[in-house]
Amino acid sequence: MMVMGIKGNQLPEQDREETLEQRLKRQGVSRRGFLKFCAAAASAMALPPSMVPAIAAALGSVTRPSVIWLSFQECTGCTESLTRSHLPTIESLIFDAISLDYHHTLQAAAGQAAEEAREMAMEKFKGEYLVLVDGSVPMADGGIYSTIAGISNIDMLRDTVENAAAVISVGSCAAFGGLPNAEPNPTGAVGIGDLMEMGEIASKPLINVPGCPPIPVVITGVIAHYLTFGTIPELDHLHRPKSFYGDTIHDRCYRRTFYDQGKFAESFDDEGARLGWCLYKLGCKGPTTHNVCATTKWNEGTSFPIESGHGCIGCSEPKFWDAGGFYEALSEPTGALGTAAKTAVGVGVAAGALSAWQNLSKRSGAAAEREKVTIDDLEQK
Amino acid sequence: MSTLDAISIETEPFVDINDGSGAQAILREIERLLEHLIDNGEEGVIDIKTIPLSLHEHEQLHYVLGRGELTATLNSMGKSIVHETAIAGVWRTIHYNDDGDVIADLIEVTTLPEILKSDLTDMQNALDELRKRIETEQPLIV
């Protein structure tokens, strides 16, 4: 794991002025190596490989932006996700390509020295720096439930975002409130987008990168996109990059074949489970969860939860923790429905739609904020 | 022996469940790209790392494309292997990082992948280097 210097990662001026191509060249990386980096970056950004020349041209001209990473009410899983990858990888190269001026988990400095590094970066790169946030912000009781160096999270965020170029919320806590926001939400935890809407912090271009945690290359891919093109990628209605969150897990799942054939595992140890059949009836939230786990996968492309035999829990969606049981099928009844309706879920696509409708109409509160899906909806995709 | 070691591990046989339609779709796309290259001279590329293919489909894809007579290895930021398939104009480029993990796996439909070509700036620098070497590095005469 990289550890920053005593006062952050304060770079000599000439290093900040270098483009990524110049920096790699100085490190002995050839033009071919640079093109290879661009090909890997395109793959990481979920861009078509035909974009490689555009990426190469862009990276040959941009310099390193200052990045301030703020960690609030979080478990550090997002930072762990980012840094657990083996080095050197595309991730480490991306970190060579930005100037990470403040990250209190990674930097050696603490307290006053750390805060000075943040303030220095904010002053020097006013209007240009990028703010990355992981963790939600507690708003109850004046925000006293989480402080850093004696500064409440909301005060630090308000101060830091004021002159930022853009904000990236890393992980479901920063994006949507996440687990701290789960009922009964004793700290009044909210996500960054909500704080902008509430007028608690300045409104800036916002990219949400949800997940609990997000996939490392998705985090770096979004940073790489900003670094490369100087713009935020195309976003969906929840401010998630469409390139990573445009499809559902179900859309790209290798078990989709079995779903289409109506072959479902009924329990985690039955014949269907052993044969790798669809986990829909065991509570898989793949049909309503937008993420790239099924294609990018985890642990350097090794596998993803469904490939390991467990359904998706929907961690990149708002309020996933309060959206019903992880082991309840999306269209299985949660209330007291008749036996006929319960049976319908299992016996056929058309019949299942009725049960799905009945079930979905019964859901309320957190579940109501999730995208609804019926077997008919899935068939139409 | 620790407690964890005492737990026996049973390995389930791998079940490959896909029917090969993914490989067929990619092959048809390669066919279209090759037609386009021949007719219009425009290159195409497919990143197969981002496409959910089963092992069977990967094997099917590469079995159909076969292996041509040219293979090149690049050693920069990890190894890269570029080879022409048995279908002229269809190349496979696999980029690895320093740990040997695949970071990009491309099917390129082109007369020659860009990464194999010499870069103009590199050639200009190389010309200076060559002139320097001619002046300073003479072969040993025994």
**Interatomic CA distance for residues A372 and A285, integer angstroms:** 11
**Interatomic CA distance for residues A348 and A370, integer angstroms:** 24
**Interatomic CA distance for residues A63 and A270, integer angstroms:** 55
CA distances from B65 to A130, B27, B60, B91 (A): 45, 8, 9, 9
By residue count, chain A amounts to 381
Q: Is B10 on the interface with A (CB under 8 A)?
A: no
For residue A277, give the chain B residue with the closest CA.
B17
Nearest-CA distance from B139 to chain A in Å? 27
Tell me if residue A252 falls in helix, strand or coil. coil
User: Would you state the structure tokens that stand for residue A312, as one six-digit string?
Assistant: 């998706």
Best mutation target among A26, A32, A86, A253 (most B Cβ atoms within 10 Å) is A32
Other beta carbons less than 10 A from residue A85's beta carbon? 19
Same domain for A31 and A171, yes or no, is: yes
User: Would you state the structure tokens that stand for residue A51, as one six-digit string?
Assistant: 């974009």
Q: Which of A185, A212, A245 is the last residue of a domain?
A: A245
Q: Among residues 76-115 of chain A, which lie with CB inside 8 Å of chain B? A: 86, 88-90
- Residue A48: its chain B contacts at CB < 8 A? 45, 47
Contact (CB, 8 A) for A302 and A328: no
Same domain for A227 and A260, yes or no, is: no
Contact (CB, 8 A) for A196 and A131: no
Same domain for A289 and A338, yes or no, is: yes
Identify whether A7 is part of a domain.
Answer: no
**Interatomic CA distance for residues A91 and A37, integer angstroms:** 11
DSSP string, A332-375: S-SS---HHHHHHHHH-HHHHHHHHHHHHHH--GGGGGSPP--H
The predicted pLDDT at position A360 comes to 34
Same domain for A155 and A35, yes or no, is: yes
The predicted pLDDT at position A134 comes to 95
The predicted pLDDT at position A8 comes to 44
For A293, the enclosing helix (H) or strand (E) is helix A293-296
The parent domain of residue A261 ranges over 256-380
Residues of chain A with pLDDT under 50: 1-9, 86-88, 90, 332-366
Same domain for A264 and A201, yes or no, is: no
- Print burial letters for A117-132: b (CB count within 10 Å at least 16), e (below 16): bbebbbeebeeebbbb
Domain CATH for A205: 3.40.50.700
Q: What is the ipTM of this complex?
A: 0.73
Distance of CA A124 to the CA centre of its chain: 29
**Interatomic CA distance for residues A260 and A255, integer angstroms:** 9
Other beta carbons less than 10 A from residue A267's beta carbon? 10
Q: Where are the beta strands (DSSP E) in A20-89?
A: 66-71
Residue B17 pLDDT level (bands cut at 50, 70, 90): low
Other beta carbons less than 10 A from residue A270's beta carbon? 13
- Print burial letters for A139-159: b (CB count within 10 Å at least 16), e (below 16): beeebebbebeeebbbebbbe
Same domain for A290 and A146, yes or no, is: no
Nearest-CA distance from A55 to chain B in Å? 14
Other beta carbons less than 10 A from residue B15's beta carbon? 10
Fold of B21-113: Ribosomal Protein S8; Chain: A, domain 1 (3.30.1370)
Nearest of A93, A70, A63, A64 to residue A2 by alpha carbon: A93
User: Would you state the structure tokens that stand for residue A325, as one six-digit string?
Assistant: 């049981």
Contact (CB, 8 A) for A66 and A99: yes
Distance of CA A290 to the CA centre of its chain: 10
Q: Among residues 121-180 of chain A, which lie with CB inside 8 Å of chain B? A: none
Same domain for A228 and A335, yes or no, is: no
Type of residue found at B15: V
Q: Is B103 on the interface with A (CB under 8 A)?
A: yes
Name beta bridge partners: B46: B107
Task: Count the alpha carbons within 13 Å of A325 in the hemisphere toward its beta carbon.
Answer: 11
For B127, the enclosing helix (H) or strand (E) is helix B120-136
Identify whether A8 is part of a domain.
Answer: no
DSSP string, A106-172: TBS--HHHHHHHHHHHHHHTTTT-EEEEESBEE-GGGGTT-EETTEEHHHHHHHHHTT-SEEEEESH
User: Would you state the structure tokens that stand for residue B107, as one six-digit string?
Assistant: 């099917």
Average pLDDT of every residue of chain B: 85
For residue A257, give the chain B residue with the closest CA.
B18
Same domain for A215 and A121, yes or no, is: yes
Same domain for A183 and A312, yes or no, is: no
Same domain for A360 and A228, yes or no, is: no
- Residue A42: its chain B contacts at CB < 8 A? 47, 104
**Interatomic CA distance for residues B108 and A103, integer angstroms:** 40
The predicted pLDDT at position A92 comes to 56
Contact (CB, 8 A) for A207 and A201: no
Nearest-CA distance from B72 to chain A in Å? 13
Nearest-CA distance from B67 to chain A in Å? 22
Sign (positive or negative) of CA dihedral A225, A227, A229, A230: positive
For residue A256, give the chain B residue with the closest CA.
B18
Other beta carbons less than 10 A from residue B45's beta carbon? 21
Nearest by CB to residue B52, choosing from A31, A254, A274, is A254
Q: Among residues 14-73 of chain B, which lie with CB inside 8 Å of chain A? A: 15, 17-19, 44-47, 49-52, 54
A50: alpha, beta or left, given left = phi > 0 and alpha = psi -120 to 50? alpha
Same domain for A61 and A86, yes or no, is: yes
Domain CATH for A284: 4.10.480.10
The predicted pLDDT at position B91 comes to 97
Identify whether A1 is part of a domain.
Answer: no
For residues A213 and B13, which has the higher predicted lDDT (pLDDT)? A213
Tell me: the pLDDT tens digits for B81-118? 999 999 999 999 999 887 788 888 999 999 999 899 98
Q: Which of A245, A280, A307 is the last residue of a domain?
A: A245
Number of domains in chain A: 2
**Interatomic CA distance for residues A126 and A363, integer angstroms:** 46
Mean pLDDT to the nearest integer, B26-40: 95
- Residue A35: its chain B contacts at CB < 8 A? 114-115
User: Would you state the structure tokens that stand for residue A38, as one six-digit string?
Assistant: 């661009």
Same domain for A195 and A304, yes or no, is: no
Mean pLDDT to the nearest integer, B21-41: 92
Q: Is A253 on the interface with B (CB under 8 A)?
A: yes
**Interatomic CA distance for residues A353 and B30, integer angstroms:** 39
Q: Which of A217, A245, A273 is the last residue of a domain?
A: A245
Looking up tokens 């040959």 gives: A60
Contact (CB, 8 A) for A190 and A174: no
